[in-house]
Chains A and B, each alone.
Chain A
Amino acid sequence: GENVEQHPSTLSVQEGDSAVIKCTYSDSASNYFPWYKQELGKRPQLIIDIRSNVGEKKDQRIAVTLNKTAKHFSLHITETQPEDSAVYFCAAPLPSGSARQLTFGSGTQLTVLP
């Protein structure tokens, strides 16, 4: 089955700096890679996703890059703000028949220091 590793587990940055979180996956057939943001006590919110037919996708201050050869994808947040502080999860699909399961990384606690 799919195994998704996420690093780092915690990340502190100064407000205005950039943050990068990286995930690696094991199944070369995986073709969909979402990122979720979870604030304390709240639901995970889908913030950006990428499919394997593109190498990069941007949405304002956030971007996701995908390296299929190396089997890793990364979340980039530029010009960080205190409201970016949250836990971020990556995920990759389990290609098991017609099912559409996601396997989640263990999460990264991002703290943006004012």
Chain B
Amino acid sequence: DGGITQSPKYLFRKEGQNVTLSCEQNLNHDAMYWYRQDPGQGLRLIYYSQIVNDFQKGDIAEGYSVSREKKESFPLTVTSAQKNPTAFYLCASGPRYQETQYFGPGTRLLVL
């Protein structure tokens, strides 16, 4: 999972502002995922993509948007519609047709 990078490590959002979290992988994985983790909690799926130019909503997609224009990249935008965005955001990737997922180092989003 060293081939998955996320940036920035910390991100501060002002009220009403959209922010974008970056996720890049050089593992040639087809599938990519975004999870949200709240303190002391498990992982909740926001969005996932099995192939370029296609993505699906997860359990908590409201207030978030994604794009998958390149195989290597799966950016997540936290929109102003997400009223409680403070959390640890984890990106993951995995080979197509396999369930195994490998995680990036995460981005911690805080609201000013």
A contacts, CB < 8 Å to B: 32, 34, 36, 42-46, 49, 89, 93, 98-102, 104-107
Distance of A95 Cα from B90 Cα, bound (Å)? 22
Distance of A99 Cα from B45 Cα, bound (Å)? 13
CB proximity of A96 to chain B, nearest CB, Å: 9
- Contact A44 B43, beta carbon cutoff 8 Å: yes
- Residue on A nearest B106 in the bound complex, by CB: A43
The total of Cβ contacts below 8 Å across the A-B interface reads 52
Distance of A86 Cα from B96 Cα, bound (Å)? 29
Instruction: Among B41, B96, B105, point to the contact of A43 (Cβ < 8 A).
Output: B105
CB proximity of B108 to chain A, nearest CB, Å: 8
- Residue on B nearest A107 in the bound complex, by CB: B42
Cβ–Cβ < 8 Å partners of A100 in chain B: 31, 50, 94, 96-99
B contacts, CB < 8 Å to A: 1, 31, 33, 41-43, 45, 48, 50, 56, 58, 90, 94, 96-106
- Contact A101 B58, beta carbon cutoff 8 Å: yes
- Contact A43 B104, beta carbon cutoff 8 Å: yes
Nearest 10 CB-CB pairings of A with B: A43-B103, A32-B99, A104-B43, A93-B99, A106-B42, A100-B99, A104-B42, A44-B103, A43-B105, A107-B42
Contact A99 B56, CB 8 Å, known A43-B90, A45-B1 = yes
- Contact A45 B103, beta carbon cutoff 8 Å: yes
Cβ–Cβ < 8 Å partners of B43 in chain A: 44, 89, 104
Chain A to chain B contacts (Cβ below 8 Å), 14 pairs: A34-B99, A42-B105, A42-B106, A43-B90, A43-B103, A44-B103, A49-B100, A89-B43, A98-B97, A99-B56, A100-B99, A101-B45, A105-B42, A106-B42
